Amino acid sequence: MKLASFLGKGKLKDKVLFIFDEPTTGLHMHDIKKLLGSFDALIEQGHSVIVIEHNTDVIKCADWVIDLGPEGGIGGGYLLYEGAPEGLKNVKESYTGQYL
Q: What is the pLDDT of residue 4?
A: 73
Q: Which residue has the higher pLDDT, 77 or 12?
A: 77
Q: What is the DSSP string of 59-94?
A: HHT-S-EEEEESBSGGGB-EEEEEE-HHHHTT-TT-
Residue 10: per-residue pLDDT: 65
Q: Is the dihedral of CA 39, 44, 45, 51 positive or negative?
A: positive
Could you tell me the pTM of the whole model? 0.83
Mean pLDDT across the chain: 90
CB 57 within 8 A of CB 29: yes
Residue 82 pLDDT > 80, yes or no?
Answer: yes
Q: What is the pLDDT of residues 22-50, one digit of tens each?
A: 999 999 999 999 999 999 999 998 899 99
Q: Where are the domains of the chain?
A: 1-54, 64-100
Residue type, 2: K
The total number of residues written for the chain in this structure: 100
Tens-place pLDDT, residues 54-76: 999 999 999 999 999 999 899 99
From CA 24, how far away is CA 32, in angstroms rounded?
6
Amino acid at 79: L
